[in-house]
């Protein structure tokens, strides 16, 4: 059982963070995989609502790879790839759009609205939120974000709503495109001058020794992240994640976080404790101090 | 060729209507069928944008029956009906939602945004816009609207956006339901205290003699509409349309219109001329006068 | 009879102009002559009110030469001239002021207020709207505008009023002066950063061949206007008109128009159609395009 | 010479009045006669500007009988009367309007603007400020005020302007009428819920003994004024003045004053001293106390 | 060590309370005794600042009995009592005021401002915040609060300040009076429509068995509190405390709390956990539910 | 007796000053000595309230030397001095604070609130209004102002309050310090960009011949003041006063005044008459003119 001293300690630690983040935008990227688990959806929905309730302005950005694969299979369409990337022809795009906008997004919106009716689904096409250009003609309708109309999402926040964004964008002629969700989340965070971007992953964060969870790197700078990538000090799936974090911070986002989406309420622990739960990438590694009180981690 | 006198006459007729409707909400219901014709989509999009451009606040509400049928067929699911109404089980609902939210709505939003990026797709689940209860347990997830959160749509208008609503709603547990689009449009118009609701149909409006387009009834009261239905003076598909118009007006909407969606720019002609193009249902049949000038039709 | 297609076409043409001019200031100069015809007064009053009704901010500036001559004759005072210009001594000034402020202005205000009570008469002396210096000592109390207090007229617009200005000004000691109405209108348009200035004349506009109305010049730049004047390509009364238009545009007014005040509702046709009805002077002769749609004339 | 004690005493007396009247509307009626004396015009203009400068909102209402008579004579038109009242036919109305709006009003506006450019002339026709009906068909275009659009004058005050009103009104068809200035001033004060109405007269105020200025009645109630009139305790020209004061107060104006317009700066002395200079009519004759301090006269 | 699960749990419990109390006024009464211990002052100052930092609007009300006694002794003045209450003559009042306003209040303000400069000392005389009448003439200048100018404290909150109130009041003639701090705090909380009043005491709260801290009564209604007092179920110093709590709640304060001021950060634990740390008095004992979630204790 | 002409003259002189100072901040420094005379307190309180009543924003800054000496004597503490300056050890500081904040300030606040409850006592510690550093370690807790948080006082004015400041400040650790009141007043006036600072003294102002009150210097520039000090043209207590005035003006305060606090309502006469009552120090000695009217003294 937790005694009152521990409770007071946690609250004293948390309250300044709550104060600091009130009114700030925090972008949270969640992949398609976690969304197949209703329990994780509920936990995520609750965290997002708690942030919202204390005046933080969350934006949820989601992918939907596994769900798309299921529908592609149902429709009997073969998935084609060029250099590992999914080719998106008109038929595929139709399914991508139906799944992301009409199903995955819906489920996430519903999970939040079941608790409090403040979530609103937004596709990148709405108000042409995400303007794109083709990435590579061989890939078809796969787009790279060239412009984000962040004012739209700010307006939703002003209206008391939580935007849940599915990463389908459009070019100037309103032709829809599929977009990589990690990149879209970063572009949105940069355009909104977000305080933080949080990537929910399936690892504890960056580990010095990938096989040892106790070697978690709590904090590093964007420059260090770039160096580790160049030095091949990180491997595999961690490379694009770490690069995305570095790019977000370089683009002006206050800090970028990789945290373990499988841990219950990971977002709350990451945001409101000195220690945090995952890896934080910032511009500088200085120890922040506020009112003369040194905060260990400055989260 | 039109001479300047005619032009002046049309403008003099139109300007007072533009003034009167500025800042007012106008709900437009469009069925799934017109949306299969790209040309009609473009014409509709242009009209809606012109209304928006002069300060009118349009809400588009759409159905999607034909599109759903196509996807049902693709998925190899048989459509079941009870007393002519589509039974919506969980599997069907999934398709309905994907089609309405992820496809039909998208196409309408894209048609507008191709001209100006101000359209935003909204499902009845977003911010729990449309709260429903089951219509009949034999029909499964088919809902009747019990509450409309009109403030959400007003907020979009305040943000300079045009909401395009797909008629999927949710109950208090956030379980989605399919809703009849005509009814949803009426419920929205009533909740928003709309100035007008316009049903785009495939007939010229109410005809005294259904076989003779020159017998168009330009204007009647809700009471007269009710009487004609009771007297069996109207038949077939016209009955529910006329009833919906009467119900909207009785609910406080300024007027309800049935106009021919196949005529180019029918909405503009209906709104901005004395004569109009279809059938208008109002509370009273009085001749409105403004500043001492009698307006023939008071549209 | 006009069919609905034509109506729709005219509306589609007009609505973007209405949108573009909403909230903008448009100065209309009307001479003393048209004001002797009650029918033209009514037509003008109606046009001005229609502009006002869709959110445009009109300023009417009027002269009153013929009316002054009548009163001078009644009072038995001989009109003296120096190089063709009326000499204004104290006695004459008294009559000029009584006629312009107490009669001509009143008639114009009354014509508008008979339809809707929003017109307000303003003399250049009110709030020292028009500050002047003497033009030439031989002319007596004839002034040239040195300062316009445009904020006063903007305030009237903000209060929902239409200012009708009689062109009597005052010097720093509040001594009144008579002012040329064409010049006063231009000075007001420049000071208010008006979108347009419209001179109501008794010709169709600038004609290539003064004897042939079909040779109307629809549009030219200020530079071209200056060139034509220098080349003596225009003659007689057209010179000062064209020069005034050029000067207005050079002073920052969006465009200057000469239109035929004798044509019914000429202002509406000029403002809200691509073709227009008279001659428009602009800075550049480029074809304006908006949202990718080329507008022939860009009025 | 005034010593500092006297100065301090006067300021201590005046400051609470300044505070009390700040933001309040005070209507001042001045007849045509004083306006023939430039010196009195300057003194009046200065007083009005001083009130304006400390945040009081003055409205000047003027007549112009003597000036009209001069112009009538010039034009060789005979003045007709019915029971002592001037008959106003169309020709006379034209002269009345030219003189009041185009001359008398102008002179008053100029007198103020010579010091500070904040005066604006307003006729009762402007924005249909004064709506009238005929008094008696035998009198022709002589009107009785039936409606005052006080919002117009409040708007001028909000814009930092001092309205100077000439008492020409209009009926619903915008036909102009001549109006008695005393009545118009009262109607304006009542409609604007003015704090005070001040009639500038050519007597010291109400005297117990008309031949002895030391018998000035400083203060009486509307009821007492009515009683004195009924008891024939007042005579001659004093009767309509006293009745107008009583009517203003009964209509909700805070107090009505008759003061000697011939005394320099009479308005300031009346407003800002306990003793005052003329006769004040109020609802009740109670001694007002503020913050426990009894004010002798409570002006 | 606390694990992340516990942390998440505490945060999930606390966030809804933070949300609920944001923007609400919470009055905290602290006696003179705790203020003699610098460590407790620091802990209290930190708690108050944390509340302030998350948008809660705290008001601190303090006494100063021990400090007054010290100064009385220094000055060699004997303390007189009537029925146990301190008699306050003019000389005593002088010392009371100097100590409360010039010393105790200063120390509390300084303790907060040492962390963040937002505290402002306010005496009940300032802006005549606390208006009083004499309690009993035998007691001299001892006052009972008759009026609280709560707007003053709301204005300080609006200005981002934390008011620290010393309980010296004044009568209508500005004569100062000494006031019982418990009563003053209650009067302030009632006048400000506070969400809560918290009495910091030197006991854990109301105990069923005064000798056994585990018999703490977590929650009771005002009616139950009254009954226990009447039934002599509570004794000694607890009676006036419990009565003050009941009176506050009956006066409209959301809830009244007695908590142990000796426990570190007792205020945070009481406000932000379900369990709380002391005794809460409310109007009704119902279990509050919010969004369908039953909160055990509803703190 | 004062006749109405004199009254009018005084008002005409005063009203423009009232207008000019409305909304402006005026800092008034009063020493401890005058505050020992209840009659002068009442007169001062009335003047300050009259300024407040016409929209001027006064700040009162007070000292309290004599009162501190009395309490030091009572407490039997010997006053120590270094080069004529009072040494303030911890024990002395305690008394200084109790007297200034808990007694002198209270008396001044009470004098104003007895008339109208708008005064609020503020110590330099409140909201850390006056931040200080030690002047000289030999003097102990005697501080020099390094920062003024003027926004706090502006906020009080915005709330309709009159701040009365006692000159106890604090360093960054919230340790209190005693401050010279003349210097504190100047620092406040500079920080608030005050229109004026007024030092209430016990002399008529700067005299050419200190023994002859008729040789009063009405006005001089800061440069002249500096020159007179350098030239030893002023002597004794006048030197620091004159230097403080010069420093205030050099810091951006509009003007600095030394006036005789013993003269009744000296502040009103100084502020609202051309002649004034004391000595005014300004940047330039030019004769100010406003609207073409030369004001003798430009006060």
One digit per residue, pLDDT tens: chain D, 299 residues? Answer: 457 788 888 999 999 999 899 999 999 999 888 788 888 899 999 999 999 999 999 999 999 888 898 888 888 888 888 877 789 999 999 999 999 999 999 999 999 999 999 999 999 999 999 999 999 999 999 999 999 999 999 999 999 999 999 999 999 888 999 999 999 999 999 999 999 999 999 889 999 998 898 999 999 999 999 999 998 878 777 888 899 999 999 999 999 999 998 888 899 999 999 988 999 999 975 444 433 333 444 45
The answer to whether residue A280 scores a pLDDT higher than 80 is yes
- A93 and A178 in contact (C-beta within 8 Å)? yes
pLDDT of residue F139: 94
- A179 and A61 in contact (C-beta within 8 Å)? no
Q: Which residues contact F20 (CB under 8 A, 6 or more apart)?
A: none
| Residues of chain C contacting residue D94, judged by C-beta atoms under 8 Å apart | 103
pLDDT in tens, F202-216: 889 999 998 898 999
Mean pLDDT of A105-110: 94
The answer to whether residue A291 scores a pLDDT higher than 50 is no
Q: Inter-axis angle of helices A90-99 and A65-75, to 10 degrees?
A: 120
Give the best residue of F90, F95, F101 to mutate against chain E (max E CB count within 10 A): F101
From E4, E22, E265, residue closest to A12, measured CB to CB: E265
Show the 3-state SS of A44-88: HHHHHHHHHHCCCEEEEEECCHHHHHHHHHHHCCCCCEECCEECE
Beta bridge partners, E178, equal E142, E168
The answer to whether residue F122 scores a pLDDT higher than 70 is yes
Q: Return the percentage of chain A with pLDDT > 70, whole number.
A: 94
Task: Chain F: list its partners (3+ Cβ pairs within 8 Å).
Answer: D, E
The answer to whether residue E15 scores a pLDDT higher than 60 is yes
pLDDT of residue E58: 98
ipTM of the complex: 0.86
What domains appear along chain E, each with residue ranges and CATH number?
23-294 (3.40.1160.10)
pLDDT of residue E299: 53
The whole-angstrom separation of Cα A73 and Cα A84 is: 18
The whole-angstrom separation of Cα F255 and Cα F278 is: 12
The whole-angstrom separation of Cα C113 and Cα C108 is: 9
Q: Return the percentage of chain A with pLDDT > 90, whole number.
A: 66
Interface contact C127-D149, CB threshold 8 A: no
Smallest CA-to-CA distance from F57 within F24, F15, F21 is with F24
Would you place residue E35 in the very low, low, confident or very high pLDDT band (cuts 50, 70, 90)?
A: confident
Q: With an 8 Å Cβ cutoff, is D118 touching chain F?
A: no
Element (H, E) at B226: helix B222-230
Interface contact C53-B4, CB threshold 8 A: no
Tracing tokens 């001359």 back to the chain, one arrives at D103
The whole-angstrom separation of Cα C51 and Cα C23 is: 10
pLDDT of residue B92: 93
Task: Chain C: list its partners (3+ Cβ pairs within 8 Å).
Answer: B, D
Nearest C-alpha of chain A: how many angstroms from E155? 21
| Residues of chain B contacting residue C8, judged by C-beta atoms under 8 Å apart | 264-265, 268-269
The answer to whether residue B294 scores a pLDDT higher than 60 is no
E291, with CB counted inside 10 A (0-12, 13-18, 19+), is: exposed
Nearest C-alpha of chain E: how many angstroms from A267? 9
Mean pLDDT of A13-18: 91
The answer to whether residue C288 scores a pLDDT higher than 70 is no
| Residues of chain D contacting residue C127, judged by C-beta atoms under 8 Å apart | 113, 117-120, 161
Which whole-number Å values give the CA distances from D86 to D71, D79, D103, D178, in the listed order? 15, 7, 20, 10
- DSSP codes, A3-41: -HHHHHHHHHHHHHHHHHHTT-EEEEEE-TTGGG-HHHH
Beta bridge partners, A27, equal A59, A197
Smallest CA-to-CA distance from C100 within C129, C53, C138, C61 is with C61
pLDDT of residue C2: 60
Q: Return the percentage of chain B with pLDDT > 70, whole number.
A: 94
pLDDT of residue A289: 41
pLDDT of residue A299: 53
Residue of C nearest to B47 (CA): C12
Interface contact F174-E111, CB threshold 8 A: yes
Mean pLDDT of chain B: 89
pLDDT in tens, F151-200: 999 999 999 999 999 999 999 888 999 999 999 999 999 999 999 999 99
- C145 and C179 in contact (C-beta within 8 Å)? yes
Would you place residue A2 in the very low, low, confident or very high pLDDT band (cuts 50, 70, 90)?
A: low
Would you place residue A285 in the very low, low, confident or very high pLDDT band (cuts 50, 70, 90)?
A: low
| Residues of chain E contacting residue F109, judged by C-beta atoms under 8 Å apart | 123, 125-126
- C18 and C272 in contact (C-beta within 8 Å)? yes
Q: Return the percentage of chain F with pLDDT > 90, whole number.
A: 66
Beta strand pairing status for B142-148 and B279-282? unpaired
pLDDT of residue C4: 77
pLDDT of residue F299: 53
Does F285 or C190 have the greater pLDDT score?
C190
The whole-angstrom separation of Cα F235 and Cα F223 is: 17
pLDDT in tens, F41-75: 999 999 999 999 999 999 999 998 888 988 888 88
pLDDT of residue B287: 47
Interface contact F125-E113, CB threshold 8 A: yes
Q: Inter-axis angle of helices B90-99 and B65-75, to 10 degrees?
A: 120
The whole-angstrom separation of Cα F84 and Cα D105 is: 71
The whole-angstrom separation of Cα B66 and Cα B30 is: 13
pLDDT of residue F298: 45
The whole-angstrom separation of Cα D210 and Cα D234 is: 9
**Range with lowest mean pLDDT among C75-84, C184-193, C282-291:** C282-291
Summarize the annotated binding site of B for substrate as residue ranges.
Answer: 64-65, 86, 178
Q: Please give the distance of CA D36 from its chain centroid, rounded to a whole number.
A: 17
Mean pLDDT of chain E: 89
| Residues of chain E contacting residue F155, judged by C-beta atoms under 8 Å apart | 159, 161
The answer to whether residue C286 scores a pLDDT higher than 60 is no
Q: Inter-axis angle of helices A90-99 and B90-99, to 10 degrees?
A: 120
Q: Kindly report the pTM of this predicted structure.
A: 0.82
Q: With an 8 Å Cβ cutoff, is E114 touching chain F?
A: yes
Nearest C-alpha of chain F: how many angstroms from E128? 5
With H, G, I as helix, E, B as strand and everything else as coil, classify residue D114. Answer: coil
CA torsion angle B199 B202 B204 B210 (round to 10): -120
Give the best residue of F44, F48, F268, F270 to mutate against chain D (max D CB count within 10 A): F268
CA torsion angle B241 B244 B248 B254 (round to 10): 10
pLDDT of residue D74: 86
Does D247 or E32 have the greater pLDDT score?
D247
Mean pLDDT of E60-82: 89
pLDDT in tens, E178-214: 999 999 999 999 999 999 999 999 889 999 998 898 9
The DSSP symbol for D62 reads E
Quickly count: other Cβ atoms within 10 Å of residue B229's Cβ: 17
pLDDT of residue F218: 93
- Check residue D172 and give left, alpha or beta (phi > 0: left; psi -120 to 50: alpha): alpha
Mean pLDDT of C159-167: 95
From F2, F115, F277, residue closest to D2, measured CB to CB: F2
The whole-angstrom separation of Cα D215 and Cα D238 is: 15
Nearest C-alpha of chain A: how many angstroms from B117? 5
pLDDT of residue D258: 95
The whole-angstrom separation of Cα F140 and Cα F178 is: 9
pLDDT of residue B162: 97
Token pair in block for residue A14: 């948390």
Contact present, A and E (at least 3 Cβ pairs less than 8 Å):
yes
The whole-angstrom separation of Cα D91 and Cα D68 is: 12
Q: Which residues contact A168 (CB under 8 A, 6 or more apart)?
A: A96, A97, A100, A101, A123, A124, A125, A130, A176, A177, A178, A179, B106
Q: Please give the distance of CA F23 from its chain centroid, rounded to a whole number.
A: 18
């Amino acid at each position: 059982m937790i005694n009152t001293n521990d409770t007071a300690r946690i609250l004293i630690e948390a309250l300044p963070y709550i104060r600091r983040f009130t009114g700030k935008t925090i972008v949270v990227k969640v992949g398609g995989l976690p969304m197949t688990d209703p329990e994780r959806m509920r936990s995520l929905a609750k965290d997002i609502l708690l942030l919202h309730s204390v005046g933080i302005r969350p934006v949820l950005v989601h992918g939907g790879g596994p769900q798309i694969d299921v529908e592609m299979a149902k429709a009997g369409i073969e998935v084609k790839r060029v250099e590992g990337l999914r080719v998106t022809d008109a038929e595929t795009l139709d399914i991508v759009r139906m799944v992301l906008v009409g199903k995955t997004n819906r489920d996430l919106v519903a999970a939040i609205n079941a608790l409090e009716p403040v979530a609103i689904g937004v596709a990148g096409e709405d108000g042409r939120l995400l303007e794109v250009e083709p990435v590579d003609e061989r890939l078809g309708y796969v787009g790279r974000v060239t412009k984000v109309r962040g004012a739209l999402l700010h307006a939703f926040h002003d209206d008391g709503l939580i935007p849940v964004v599915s990463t389908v964008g459009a070019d100037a002629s309103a032709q829809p495109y599929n977009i990589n969700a990690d990149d879209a989340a970063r572009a949105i965070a940069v355009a909104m001058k977000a305080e933080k971007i949080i990537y929910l992953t399936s690892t504890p964060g960056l580990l010095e020794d990938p096989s040892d969870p106790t070697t978690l790197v709590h904090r590093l700078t964007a420059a260090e992240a770039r160096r580790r990538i160049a030095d091949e000090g990180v491997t595999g799936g961690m490379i694009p994640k770490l690069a995305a974090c570095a790019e977000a911070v370089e683009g002006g986002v206050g800090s970028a976080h990789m945290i373990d989406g499988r841990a219950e309420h990971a977002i709350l622990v990451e945001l409101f404790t000195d220690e945090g739960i995952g890896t934080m990438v910032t511009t500088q590694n200085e120890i922040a101090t506020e009112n003369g009180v040194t905060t260990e981690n400055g989260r």
